[in-house]
Structures are given as C-alpha cells and as structure tokens.
Amino acid sequence: GQNIDQPTEMTATEGAIVQINCTYQTSGFNGLFWYQQHAGEAPTFLSYNVLDGLEEKGRFSSFLSRSKGYSYLLLKELQMKDSASYLCAVIDSNYQLIWGAGTKLIIKP
Amino acid sequence: GAVVSQHPSWVICKSGTSVKIECRSLDFQATTMFWYRQFPKQSLMLMATSNEGSKATYEQGVEKDKFLINHASLTLSTLTVTSAHPEDSSFYICSARGLGDGNQPQHFGDGTRLSIL
C-alpha cells in the first residue's frame, strides 16, 4: 500500500528552528509537496521537491532524499503565525497525490 | 498568480436542501479540479477528481448521486450536495491544478463550511 508518515504534533519556541519530517512509501514518485494549513482554513502551497537536495525559500526550506523516501520541512526564526498544520503529499507514478495526515505545529512564546 | 476562488464560504440550511458550491480558477486554466472534505481535527479526504469535459472520478465510499460534480469549463467546477443531511456538515475544499504534467501543485480555494440543521 501507499503510506506517508509524519509526526502528529510538534511543539517549538518562538524564534527557534523546527524540522518536520516526512517518510513515504509509494508506488513511484513524481514529486513531493509541503502545504501549510491554519485551523479552519484551506491549505496553502509551500514547496515542491522532485530532485534530491535542499530547496530554500525564505524562512522555510524543504529537503528531499529519494533513495531514503524522506523529506523534511525546516522552519527558521519561528513566529507565532507559523502555528499550523503542515501537510506532506507525494505524487505517485499515476500522478495521484497521496496526502499525509499532517503535523500540527504549536509555537510557544 | 494561481488564485482559486470558492463560493460560498458559509452555508447554513435545513435538512433536505441541495447545496451548490462553485470553484473557479481565476488566473489560470485548470484541466483538473479536486474536491475534498475535512472534518474537524481530521485529515483532508479526497472525494473526487474532475477533469474538464468528462465525468468525475469518485473515491471509494463517496456517493456519486449524493455529490454531483460538474466541470464544464477550464475555470469552473461545481459540487452539488443533494438532499443534504446533518451528517453532510463539514468543511468542503476545492483545489485546481494547472495545465501540464500531473506534478503541478494543487492550489486551494478558501473552503466552504456547510452546516445542515
């Protein structure tokens, strides 16, 4: 079967750095997305990785290792507004998007 | 760019009413649109995938006759919840994917909060 694993919940401190991991086992791979979803709102697109390595976009960076079936989202200089759920999603060989359950990130002052 | 508009944002109606939700891609053409449902504190659940000009593909367990999907143009898809009941109350979210390969990101509308009394 197809499976995406990410931690259910994480807590971090304002101003700190947090890494949210995502591991996947899918039938094929055509890319991985990270989305942010604030409570009661729709998801917003953060990043896309299809090649190995680190993609940096401001305070957010996303890393991919295809051989390990692993990605992480790195958030630096955390702000209170970063409190949200972070969803990992993988495109399989049929171009179906497989969603993880999301990681709820709680930022404390 | 890549703005998706979903309307209405909130619907409160009586049991037995049919409710229509619109999803529009405002600044790009979307060959494929997706409809999701999300219950409080739960994951996104894909209900169906619709391609412009063809019938929608429904996920297992989603009733086609209950959730009617129309994708008549490259910028508009609609979801009609027919004869809605309290158990249909949920957060419905659409997303649209642009032309090109299936590895384009999905861009989401703001969602529709449906409450059936």
Residues of B with Cβ-Cβ distance to A48 under 8 angstroms: 103, 105
- Weakest-pLDDT range from A23-37, A79-93, B38-52: B38-52
Q: Do A43 and B105 touch (CB under 8 A)?
A: no
Q: What share of chain B is helix, strand, coil (3-state, %, to 5)?
A: 5, 55, 45
pLDDT of residue B101: 63
Closest residue in A to B59 (Cα) is A96
Q: Report how far residue B79's alpha carbon sits from residue B82's, in angstroms, rounded to the nearest whole number.
A: 9
Specify the DSSP class assigned to residue B87. Answer: G
Report how many Cβ contacts below 8 Å link chain A to chain B: 43
CB burial readout B5-32, b (16+ within 10 A) else e:
bbeeeebeeeeeeebebbbbbeebebbb
Q: Which of A44, A45, A99 sits opposite B43 (nearest CB)?
A: A99
Tens of pLDDT, residues B16-30: 999 999 999 998 888
pLDDT, tens only, B72-108: 888 999 999 999 999 999 999 999 988 776 778 889 9
* pLDDT at res. B43: 85
The whole-angstrom distance between A78's CA and the closest CA on chain B is 23
Q: What is the CA angle A90-B101-A35, rounded to 5?
A: 35
CA distance B93 to chain A (A): 7
pLDDT of residue B98: 82
Percentage above 70 pLDDT, chain B: 98
Nearest to A60 by CA among A22, A18, A7, A9: A18
Q: How far is A93 from chain B (nearest CA, A)?
A: 10
Does the distance separating the beta carbons of A48 and B103 come in below 8 Å?
Answer: yes
**Nearest-CA residue of chain A relative to B94?**
A42
Strands (E), B26-75: 30-38, 45-51, 57-58, 67-73
Contacting residues of B for A87, CB less than 8 Å apart: 44
B60 touching A (Cβ < 8 Å)? no
* B65 interfacial to chain A (CB closer than 8 Å): no
The one-letter code for the residue type at B99 is: L
Comparing CB atoms, the residue among B102, B106, B111 nearest residue A41 is B111
